[in-house]
Amino acid sequence: MGQQDLKIHELVAKIERGDIRLPEMQRRYVWQKTRVRDLLDSLYRGYPSGTILTWETDEGVATRDFAVEQATDVKTFQLLLDGQQRLSSLAAIILGKPLHIGGRVRPIDILFNLDHPDELEFITEVNEDDDTDGDDTEDAEVADASEDDLLARFSKMAFVVYTKKLAALPQWVSATEVFKEPSDKPFLKAAGVTDMNDPRYDKYTDRLKQLRGIKDYQYRVHILDRDKSYEEVTEIFVRVNSLGAKLRSSDLALAQITAKWRDSLKIFQAFQDDCKKVGFDLGLGIHLKTLVSFITGQSRFRAVSNLSKERLEQGWEDAKKGMDFALNFLRSNVKIDSPALLSSPFLIITLAYFGHARNYHLSRQEAAQLRYWALVANAKARYSRGSSETFLDQDIAAIKKDMGIPGLLQLLKTQVGRLDVQAPDLENRNSRSAYFKTMFLAFRDGEARDWRDQLIISLKHRGSTHTLQFHHIFPWAVLKKLSVSSNKINDICNMAFIGGGTNRKIRDKEPSDYLPEIVTKLGASALDAQSIPTDPQFWQVNRYDEFLAQRRERVAARLNDYLGHSSMESVE
């Protein structure tokens, strides 16, 4: 194995030219913007940043696209086995190019604080899931914060994810612009430094030089020999990326699958795109877990290395049919039309496996029972409690043993105790709760509408005026003045589903100010549709606790009615 030291700007140039490509076994780009911020912060301080692993080969290896645009007409190139997230991020920042992820164009801009303290504090405000690709910012409340709040919060940091309010301040500059512009003059001028005698002159120029110096940071690049086979390189890839849990098990499984079944990634991605077209943009890991479940009768990836190409190909054909059934059943029978409404996508796998086991022949009664199980398992977060794979394997085993829906319901009841919803179950729950998703489903089923445009609530409305938002019935600002805790303010029973335009119009009004107007114009049914107490005495700020108690009772009753417990008691 050879090695060489390459500067970051040299590696970025290789990526741009297409001299470094990604093998099919690599996962997609998954870093959130705050991870890019932290990488720049570490490099700025001169901290170690790992190594890079590549492979030179003459073998015709299937590749996948980098998240950052690059030339593709190069015939000889190295394959990047370790370092994709770092190099993609650095290429995007240094070149000023957006990332292309899952069909979306995602710009990344990191701001640099010219006036940061000499003794930097390393502050990580947010702990994200690396497997998401949302448009994250430093914090969910940044958009509503004042300039003073932002300065107090970020003044000790050297780098932050771009926000308009910070970018408008003179001491904050775009890291990308600094990398692209060799002169300090425009940045100094924008910061109000027009004279070399200004005490900030030396400090700011030194810091701009240090920032640009990131491009000269050297990575040690290890290069695997040409004589290694794809299978051997895959084994190296799996071992390297198993250390430190850098990759999810599904990513390692994909590497093993593509080693046996070349070009299978394109096949998986094509089906992934088909699912996306009907509203289910699912991670590749869910499709792979479905594949493994159909072949092995259990969901864990440990058996992947023993599967032949033939079994993988046949299993994939069966898994696709199962997924088609599951998504159709969710959309038509359960009325769940987005993975955002699922407490876990594992529920799709169980539905797919059940349909496959029944050869897609269900009686009307079975279909009704399966709908009931899906709704209750979703509301009770069947696969979001403890060891989710263990619960998934239990359900797959029950289906294999032909225990039917009663068997699935009994396993769920053993796990959660009871299948109905009681008011105390809703206490201290936030918008990430499975009950919150079920609230939306129940209210939408009852045709709850926005209080201005009368559109039935939906995740699919277009435009900022109509896009669904979670509205604090008792506004955040009002309750915060009374020193109510954040957890209590964000209680799901203080939430309603309305459009963005309506939410902005209400702003920080107390419910006793704006709810009477809604009742006058639309009637009490507008509130009842979202189980909001209609008695004005509960709209007073000093009775917030009573409001929550009343609404919990009303919401619990609505959820039980929606889930259909009374009609399915014999199944339980």
Residue 144 has pLDDT above 90, yes or no: no
Give the per-residue pLDDT at 513. 96
The residue to which tokens 């710009």 are assigned: 107
Q: What's the CA angle centered on 283, arms 281 and 288, to 5 degrees?
A: 125
Instruction: Indicate if the pLDDT at residue 247 is higher than 70.
Output: no
Q: What is the mean pLDDT of the chain?
A: 89
* pLDDT > 70 fraction of the chain, expressed in percent and rounded: 92
Rounded to the nearest 10 degrees, the angle between the axes of helix 388-400 and helix 404-416 is 150
Quickly list DSSP for 18-45. Answer: TSEEEETTSPPP---HHHHHHHHHHHHH
For 184, list phi and psi in degrees, rounded to 5.
-80, -20
Burial of 49 (0-12, 13-18, 19+ CB in 10 A): middle
Say what the pLDDT of residue 379 is: 97
- Work out the pLDDT band at 125, boundaries 50, 70, 90: very low
Q: Is the pLDDT reported for residue 402 higher than 70?
A: yes
pLDDT of 44 over the 90 cut: yes
Q: Which pair of tokens denotes residue 369? A: 């029972």
pLDDT at 570: 63
What's the predicted TM-score (pTM) here? 0.74
- Which of these ranges, 143-147, 457-461, 481-485, has the smallest mean pLDDT? 143-147
Beta bridge pairs of residue 7: 218
In which residue are the tokens 């900022």 written? Answer: 464
The pLDDT confidence band at residue 374, using thresholds 50, 70 and 90, is very high
Domain boundaries, the chain: 2-126+142-216, 248-419, 426-563
Beta-carbon contacts of 220 under 8 Å, excluding residues fewer than 6 positions away, are: 3, 4, 5, 51, 52
Of the candidate ranges 79-88, 101-110, 490-499, the one whose mean pLDDT is the lowest: 101-110
**Which one-letter DSSP state was computed for residue 473?**
S
pLDDT of 231 reads 77
Q: Report whether pLDDT(137) > 80.
A: no
Average pLDDT over residues 94-108: 89
The reported pLDDT for the residue numbered 245 is 41
Mean pLDDT to the nearest integer, 91-108: 91
- Give the lowest-confidence range in 246-250, 369-373, 444-448, 551-555: 246-250
124 pLDDT above the threshold of 70: no
CA distance 474 to 408: 39
Residue 59 has what DSSP assignment?
A: S
Query: How sure is the predictor about 373, in pLDDT bands with cuts at 50, 70 and 90?
Result: very high
Nearest to 337 by CA among 285, 430, 275: 275
| Confidence bin at 478 (pLDDT 50/70/90) | very high
Q: How far apart, in whole angstroms, are the C-alpha atoms of residue 369 and residue 375?
A: 10
pLDDT digits (tens, 9 = 90+) for 344-353: 999 999 999 9
CA 356, chain centre distance (Å) = 29
Amino acid at 522: L
pLDDT given for residue 75 in this prediction: 79
Q: How confident is the model at residue 196, as a pLDDT?
A: 92
